[in-house]
Structure 1
């Protein structure tokens, strides 16, 4: 059996990458840093391209695709560091036609935090808690945050689709930092040689690639099976690939990776914020442990 994206799925991924390259390239990324406001024109362009209505049935005006296709699209969003409450708006597309078309920004309470609260048209979560939300300083200049007092997690547990799409975003970020590290290692010279010729740098890049491809296999497989345990494993691997990959990329870059001209540190900061969303860390580990103990894996 051949396991991999179909030609149509690859075309979808390439189309999304091309759209983001036109609408949210390096200049737009730098302009968005610290702005705390969403580009509503870009948001509507995403809606027009079917980003939010990707899994909505065609009978309801959607694209009619499935979770594997959504994973590929969100992987590209993570690669580009696309800002905004993308997952919450995507999940709200079915009950909210405005969200499907990109005419509304939807966010939600997740693990006691709310992303992009001031820009949201709709907030999903406990209404009383949202009214008491207080702004907190976000480590990621592209993700403003509010904390909701007394709310630690969703009573029914995290939405598995949200967990998997977060993993897809982390996967895209890990792929980008791996690419950046290799590119930099090829052109940056020390002692008259490209730093990629040094074994220590080679080991960093190789470690990034191993974690990336391991996470990619897990995320793609979970998109097909939709099993909660598979999704939890994919999320844990993707979080590790994104965070450790960005840290290793910073090591390859040296001090220049922390400058505002480089996007490397932005990937690390976004990966940290994503890793705090529900369904990762200890929560995912507990789900996997229960699945293994039950003998269902």
Structure 2
């Protein structure tokens, strides 16, 4: 089975990166962080809809782009790379089911593992949010609400739910976002290691820093192979494995990037801590570590006497 990207897929990935870099580059990211409580940019949301971001997997006959899961994964990887805020996955999954979701006219949030991202600014919320209470999110660009256990009747927080297909898609697209963050923090670490000097030479010349950067790159590429493969097969076990690898690559990669940056990485002016905080928040979505490990353990034990 060939997991190499086609020319069209590479062009799609480059096009999404160009759009997001131009529309939500570092200046826009820093402005969004500095503006206080996060406010969803509705104009940007509609531009994403016009570009087909939310309707990528919607059939042509339904007004969508007519592409597949592989292409959606590439788009969400680029969104993770720039830390694009908003309930992207919920709106994408609602395309075709909720009026206006595919075009970006409607912002859709969803109850996910007992949490709801962007609840207060969503037009439509899928799931029961009775008793939802705001949480102080570690990520300044992801407002969160927690749904009490008694009100979680329609939540998608368990890989064994009847709506398991949506859970697997959420998990895979989350893995794609994590992959984007992991790749970006690896780039930031390497750039800093090349330019920051100590004792008359770039810090990248020191073995300890070389090892950190090399390990980051290995985790990124292993996670990339797993995420891309899971997008082709859509096998639940492979999705679980990809999610585990992507979560690890994003969180450990951001932490190692902080290490390479030293004290500078912990300052508010640095972007590194924003990647780490977003990666932490994503790990709390459905199909996280515990669910994925239990699924893979069950697969391994199938047929064992």
TM-score, with length taken from structure 1? 0.96
CA deviations on 1:135-193 (whole Å, 9 max, x unpaired) are 01000001000011113835435611111000000000000000000000000001111
Secondary structure of the structure 2 residue equivalent to 1:108? strand
Distance 2:267 2:46 in 1: 31
Q: Pick the aligned partner of 1:182 from 190, 193, 197.
A: 190
Any unmatched runs of 5+ in structure 2? none
Q: Aligned to 2:66, what secondary structure does the other structure show? A: coil
The equivalent residue for 1:149 is 148
Instruction: Return the match for 1:287 from 275, 279, 295.
Output: 295
Please state whether the residue corresponding to 1:12 is helix, strand or coil: helix
Deviations along 1:246-268, whole A, 9 cap, x unmatched?
Answer: 00000000111122221110000
Which residue of structure 1 lines up, in the alignment, with residue 277 of structure 2? Answer: 269
Aligned pairs (5 A) from 1:92-171? 92-126=94-128, 130-150=129-149, 151=152, 153-154=157-158, 155-156=161-162, 157=164, 159-171=167-179
Q: Which residue of 2 aligns with 1:30?
A: 30
The root-mean-square deviation of aligned C-alpha atoms, in Å, is 1.4
The reply to whether residue 68 of structure 1 matches residue 70 of structure 2 is yes
Structure 1: gaps (5+ residues): none
Structure 1 residue ranges (4+ consecutive) displaced by more than 6 angstroms after TM superposition: none
* CA deviation after TM superposition for structure 1 residue 2, in Å: 4.4
Residue in 2 that maps onto 1:88:
90
Deviation at 1:292, TM superposition (A): 1.3
Report the TM-score when normalising by structure 2.
0.93
